[in-house]
Structure 1
Amino acid sequence: MEISIAIDGPSGSGKSTTARRVAQRLNIYYIDTGAMYRAVALLSMRKNIDLEDKDEISRLSKETNIEFGQITGEDSQKVFLNNEEVTDLIRTNEVDEIVSEVASIPEVREIMLNKQRELARKSGVVMEGRDIGSRVLPGADLKIYLTASLNTRARRRFRELKEKGKQIDFAKVKDNIRLRDEQDKSRSHSPLVRPDDAIEIKTDDFGPNKVVEKIIELIKKEV
């Protein structure tokens, strides 16, 4: 199916789960752009690169190879960083705390933009992130903007971390998401915005399956 779908929204709004399931339903490629920035953040941590050293982080992002596996029956997708599987390693609270800073570096975003557009040249794609409809795929066939309250998003992230055995305080998770929101919306280069032609879906009271069904209906009607 030759279709491009852009799904944007803040942290914890349900982008990843929704995008994966839509891609499965349509049998098209799924790209989690946030995972790409997380992979660069993880590698920067491992190499003890100072977050102020933007040139070194930019160089690192250019040389880094990031690949995605197929979506499995467990509704997950493996992420590979230089041939190493880092699916869970990029979802830690430590990465949460620095990923927005890494993603705010203009040169890093330009490098990732080119990588993302190259990946999107497949016959059909669902791409999710924070600037997909506004910058990466401005000509997408359908643009969706998912949102939810801060409390809802923090609860989702907290539950996700607990299920992975992480010991983390809810207040800390909530503070991290609040800070991430502020950083994502205020950065000068490719900030988080709702594209004018995007359809907004509030996910507070909807499980992922209902959101997916809503998007499938929109595809049938709009595309």
Structure 2
Amino acid sequence: MNPANVPVLTIDGPSGSGKGTISRLVAEQLGWRLLDSGALYRAVGYAAGAAGLDLSDEEAITRCAQTTRIQFRAAADGGETHVFVNGHDATDELRTETAGAAASAIASVPSVRHALVAMQLGFRKAPGLVADGRDMGTVIFPDAPFKVFLTASSAERAKRRYKQLKEKGLSVTLATLQREIEARDARDASRAVAPLKPAEDAVLIDTTGIGIGDVVAKVLAVVQR
């Protein structure tokens, strides 16, 4: 099938809005492929950190984006997809706030974004694709027939992240997480390249105080209608 004819559902939104969980569940329901674009940027940020690169060195970070090997492997038990960076299973490291901050920093570099575009477009294969990110509906798949933008209050998103990180045994504070989330929101929304914003034709869904099952149903309704 011509990739242009493969249906795409984009699910964009800020950190902690539930994109990852909702995208995975919706992709399972539809039987479609899944693209976690944020993991690509986190992977490059992780690789850059492992190599001791300065995140402000755009030339070095771009080379890193061009050469880093990123692989997604489904878990044998059907759980969380594992992300391998240059052969190393970096799944847990990529979910930390440090990795998130690094991803946000390098995502503002045009040459880094350009280096990862082809990789993201390559996920568009039959029978369909659920693309999770921040600019999936506005930049990467502007022709997608189905677009959703998830959001939630910063306090709600901080609570969700706090719970996730505590379950992984990490030491964090709720107040610090909320400050980091709000700072990242401001950085992502104000960057010159692909700023975080809903596509004009996206359906906005506020997930504050809504259960996962209800959000999944709302997103599926966008496709099924």
Range of TM-score over shorter length = over 0.9
Unpaired stretches in structure 1, ≥5 consecutive residues? none
1:59 aligns with 2:59: no
Shift of 1:117: 0.6
Could you state the TM-score of these two structures normalised by the residue count of structure 1? 0.94
Which 10-residue stretch deviates more, 206-215 or 17-26?
Answer: 206-215
Displacement of 1:160? 0.6
1:40 and 2:44 aligned = yes
The aligned length equals: 221
Does the residue aligned with 2:188 lie in a helix, a strand or coil?
helix
Write out per-residue CA displacement over residues 101-157 of structure 1, whole angstroms, 9 at most, x where no aligned residue: 111111001111121011224431101100000000001120000000010011111
Measure the CA separation in 1 of the matches of 2:147 and 2:79.
22
Structure 2 residue runs of 5 or longer lacking an equivalent are 1-5
Residue in structure 2 matching 1:173, options 170, 177, 187 = 177
Moved over 3 A (4+): 71-75
1:90 aligned to which of 94, 98, 104:
94
In 2, distance between residues paired with 1:49 and 1:209? 41
Preserved contact between residue 33 and residue 125 of structure 2 (Cα < 8 Å): no
Q: CA RMSD in A?
A: 1.6
Go from structure 1 to structure 2 and tell me whether the alpha carbon gap of 1:72 and 1:4 turns closer, same or farther (over 3 Å shift).
farther
Give TM-score, length-normalised by structure 2.
0.93
Q: Percent identity between the aligned chains? A: 37
| Equivalent position of 1:118 in the other structure | 122
Q: Secondary structure at the match of 1:88?
A: helix
Matched residue, 1:211: 215
Q: Is the 8 A contact 1:20 1:75 kept in 2?
A: no
Deviations 1:141-181 (A, max 9, x none): 20000000010011111111001000011111111111110
Correspondences of 1:1-223 after superposition (within 5 Å):
2-70=6-74, 75-221=79-225
More divergent stretch after superposition (94-103 vs 64-73): 64-73
Provide the rounded CA distance (Å) in 1 between the counterparts of 2:123 and 2:223: 22
